[in-house]
Structure formats: structure tokens, C-alpha cells
A and B are shown apart, each in its own frame.
Chain A
Amino acid sequence: DVKVTQSSRYLVKRTGEKVFLECVQDMDHENMFWYRQDPGLGLRLIYFSYDVKMKEKGDIPEGYSVSREKKERFSLILESASTNQTSMYLCASSLTTAISYNEQFFGPGTRLTVL
């Protein structure tokens, strides 16, 4: 089974702090994603990466950056946390092949609260 793990289930930070959210997958997937999940808005893509050291902006990248130094690890960074970044953050990975249908495998999520 694909396993996607996230470093924390719950995180409380203060406005202005630098925040790191870590995600690790163990199935050698090329693609990794970070989403925000908010009620009524569904999942919104923040950033994704299709290879080591490669990254692409998603729909809402402002206020975030990412790092992918190793294939299995994809980090989301909030340079200066703000209260409007309070949310549930989901990491996902996928394998792109002719028959994979691009199914995404999700981590358990990190609920971040910024005070």
C-alpha cells in the first residue's frame, strides 16, 4: 500500500512565524502535491512537483513556498504565517504512467492554526 505521511496532525503557530510542513511518500512517486482543504471551497492546489528540485505553482501559491530535495519528501513552507492560512493541509502523491490514471494518494492532513 502507498503510504503518505505528514509530520504533524495538529500544529499551532503565531502570526509571523516560519512554518514547515513535511510530507513523505514511500512508493517512488514522481508527483507530489500540497492542497488546502477549506469548508465550501474543496481542495485548492498550492504547489506541486513532478520531479526532484522541480516545482510548479498551483492555484493559490501566495504566501507559500516548497522544497523537494529528495524524491520521497515534499515540504511546504509558510515564510511568515498569517491567520488566513489557518486551514487543513493535505499532501498527496501520484505516479504518472499510461495506465495509472493519475490516482492521487493522500496523507492524513495537518490542521494548522495560526493565532
Chain B
Amino acid sequence: AQRVTQPEKLLSVFKGAPVELKCNYSYSGSPELFWYVQYSRQRLQLLLRHISRESIKGFTADLNKGETSFHLKKPFAQEEDSAMYYCALTPRTTGGFKTIFGAGTRLFVKA
């Protein structure tokens, strides 16, 4: 079965500290993986996607097929990074439009 697991419901770090939000997935094929973010009082929006290999707002995520993980990392957390983060998987099937979301991790960056 296709599944996305985010083991931490809440992650609290100090400003300037490194942060890693964990995401593990279960899928037998080759997935498209995403991180979405929801800031307070804003709509859910895409943060980054693995296929682009991009860094957005200092965040990066590497796909590790061996460990089936797609952890989100930032070397120096900022207060404005406080938000809800969702890892998501879209199977690369015909159409490929159904996306599976994890339960989310709330990141709180303390001053």
C-alpha cells in the first residue's frame, strides 16, 4: 500500500539551529515526492519537489530510494520557518494525479 509517514507531529528548535523534518514513504514504483508548507493563516502551498533538485528558502530534500526517505533539511532555522509541513507522494501511474499526504509536522522555531 502507498503510504507517507512523518514520525514527528511537533518539532521545536532554536533559531539558527539545523532542522530536519523526517519523511518516509512506502511505494513499490518510482514516486514523485513533494514538501508542502502551510504558514499561519495562509493556504497550503508547494515548498519543493524532488525532481527539481531545488533549494527553496534554504530548504533542501534528498530522495533516498534505499531508505525510502525524503527528509527536509535546513542548516540554520529562522523564526519565519515556523509552519506546518506536509510530505506528499504522487505515484507515477497513468494520470498520476492522486497524491498521498503525510500527517504533517509542525515546526516551531524559538527565538
Contacts and interface: CB of A to CB of B under 8 A. Distances in A.
A92 B44 CA distance: 9
A18 to B, nearest CB: 26
23 contacts: A30-B97, A33-B99, A40-B103, A42-B102, A42-B104, A43-B86, A43-B101, A43-B104, A45-B98, A48-B97, A56-B98, A101-B32, A101-B49, A101-B90, A102-B90, A102-B96, A103-B34, A103-B46, A103-B49, A104-B46, A106-B43, A106-B44, A108-B43
Contacts of B44: 43, 90, 92, 106
Rank and list the top 5 A-B pairs by shortest CB-CB distance, nearest first. Answer: A42-B103, A43-B101, A106-B44, A31-B97, A102-B90
How many of chain B's residues touch chain A, expressed as a range? 20 to 34
B99 A104 contact: yes
A26 to B, nearest CB: 15
B32 A102 contact: yes
Interface residues of A, number: 26
B12 interface: no
